[in-house]
C-alpha cells in the first residue's frame, strides 16, 4: 500500500503500487515499471472492509523532497541476551 486518505466517515481511497516486469519470449526480464491503482474502500461497523468498485490507474506519488530518516534515535547493537539477537541467531542457525 502506498497510501490511504479518508474521503468520508467510513469511506477511504486506498492507493497501491504494483511492480510489473516486462518479459521476452524466453521469460527474461527486459523492463520493469511501477503502476499505481486507487480503489474506494468502505469500512463497516465491525471493521470489515470492502472495495466499492474496480481499481483505477492513477499517477504515482510525487518524489520525496527531503531525506527520510528515523523518527527517533537508532536502537544500537543488541546484546547477546537480547530477545532480538536470540531470535536472529536461532533463525540463522
% the chain with pLDDT above 70 = 99
Number of helices and strands in the chain (H, E): 1, 5
Beta bridge partners of 72: none
* CB 35, CB 18: distance < 8 Å: yes
Closest CA to 37 of 51, 12, 54: 54
22-44 per-position pLDDT tens digit:
999 999 999 999 999 999 999 99
* Mean pLDDT for the chain overall: 86
Amino acid at each position: 500500500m502506498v497510501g490511504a486518505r479518508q474521503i468520508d466517515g467510513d469511506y477511504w481511497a486506498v492507493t497501491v503500487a504494483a511492480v510489473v516486469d516486462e518479459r521476452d519470449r524466453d521469460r527474461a526480464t527486459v523492463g520493469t515499471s511501477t503502476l499505481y491503482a486507487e480503489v474506494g474502500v468502505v469500512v463497516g461497523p465491525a471493521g470489515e472492509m470492502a472495495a466499492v468498485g474496480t481499481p483505477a490507474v492513477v499517477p504515482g506519488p510525487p518524489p520525496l523532497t527531503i531525506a527520510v530518516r528515523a523518527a527517533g534515535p537508532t536502537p544500537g547493537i543488541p546484546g547477546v541476551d537480547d530477545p532480538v539477537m536470540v531470535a536472529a541467531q536461532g533463525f540463522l542457525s
